[in-house]
Amino acid sequence: MIEDDYLSELQLEGRAAPALASIDRNGRVIHIGSYSKTISPALRLGFLVAPLALASRFAEVAACLAPAPGPSLQLAIAEFMREVHYTRHLRRTKRLYSAHRDALLKCLRPRAKNGAVGGLAVVLRLPDGAPDVSIAKETLTFGLAPSPLSLWYASRVSAQSGLLLGIATAPQKHLAASCDRLYDHRSLHMTLQEPLAPNETASLSRRSPVGMRRLQKRASSGGRVADGLRDLLVRASWLAGSV
């Protein structure tokens, strides 16, 4: 079983469910994680936790793929985590995204009360048959960069129309104006449907395609966490020399 756990560390409400790999006693789970969402996609750094019996096979395959980031970067991130900067960074990022979520919902709900949070996105349901793909394309210039919900269904027969609005990338400076422009769009004058059912929201939270598409400048531009990361990267060359 492959467990692709790319978002649990940024769960905004409650505690994330324990990883399947943490309760695996028979070596049947391969756990995959990434730092693209939590730190920056520019790192191009992730990790894999595999049963010990498969470690050598994964090492052989990895040697044939694109080269991994240099040891200096990997050691810097390891030190960043060892000094608990990573944990503090996650807490600060979650507080920031929670504020983004609340601000986005505050702007959306006066006109439609069916906004539901799924992962790092607000799910805005549209009437059945609404052309969410074309609406998403036409509203890209509004600053919200919505993603059509219908594309994420395996079958077009069961696909439902909606928009996924990213929490992490919501334009805070002009958020209210962007939401007004979105609702003023001609295709959104139709009455919106009821909110997603709780089980649907939980499902979307694990597969929302709207995540951190920009470098988390705002989440790591100040404070001790950012200072710690900068210091570690400065020391990267020294760390590489100690390998």
Element (H, E) at 123: strand 121-125
State the pLDDT at residue 131: 87
Burial of 7 (0-12, 13-18, 19+ CB in 10 A): buried
CA 27 to chain centre: 28
In angstroms, what CA-CA distances link 225 with 49, 221, 231?
26, 9, 10
State the pLDDT at residue 113: 67
Q: Which amino acid is at 201?
A: T
DSSP state of 19: P
Residue 241 CB coordination number (10 Å): 9
State the pLDDT at residue 207: 41
Tens digits of pLDDT across the chain (243 residues)? 999 988 888 888 878 788 999 999 898 999 999 998 899 989 989 888 999 889 889 888 888 887 778 889 999 999 999 999 999 999 999 999 999 999 988 888 887 766 788 888 888 888 888 888 988 888 877 767 788 999 989 888 888 888 888 888 777 778 888 888 887 765 565 544 444 444 544 444 444 433 333 333 333 444 444 455 445 444 443 444 433
State the pLDDT at residue 79: 95
Pick the closest to residue 138 from 175, 185, 100 (CA basis): 185
Check: CB of residue 47 under 8 Å from CB of residue 58: no
State the pLDDT at residue 222: 41
Task: Please tell me the pTM assigned to this model.
Answer: 0.69
Helix, strand or coil, per DSSP, at residue 132: helix
Check: CB of residue 218 under 8 Å from CB of residue 152: no
Q: Which two tokens stand for residue 57?
A: 């096979």
Question: How far is residue 122's CA from residue 175's CA, in Å, rounded to a whole number?
Answer: 14
Check: CB of residue 117 under 8 Å from CB of residue 123: yes
Question: How far is residue 5's CA from residue 94's CA, in Å, rounded to a whole number?
Answer: 17
- List of domains in the chain: 2-87+217-241 (3.40.640.10), 109-207 (no CATH)
DSSP state of 215: -
Check: CB of residue 167 under 8 Å from CB of residue 122: yes
Helix, strand or coil, per DSSP, at residue 238: helix
State the pLDDT at residue 188: 61
Question: How far is residue 45's CA from residue 42's CA, in Å, rounded to a whole number?
Answer: 8
Q: Which two tokens stand for residue 21?
A: 């790999």
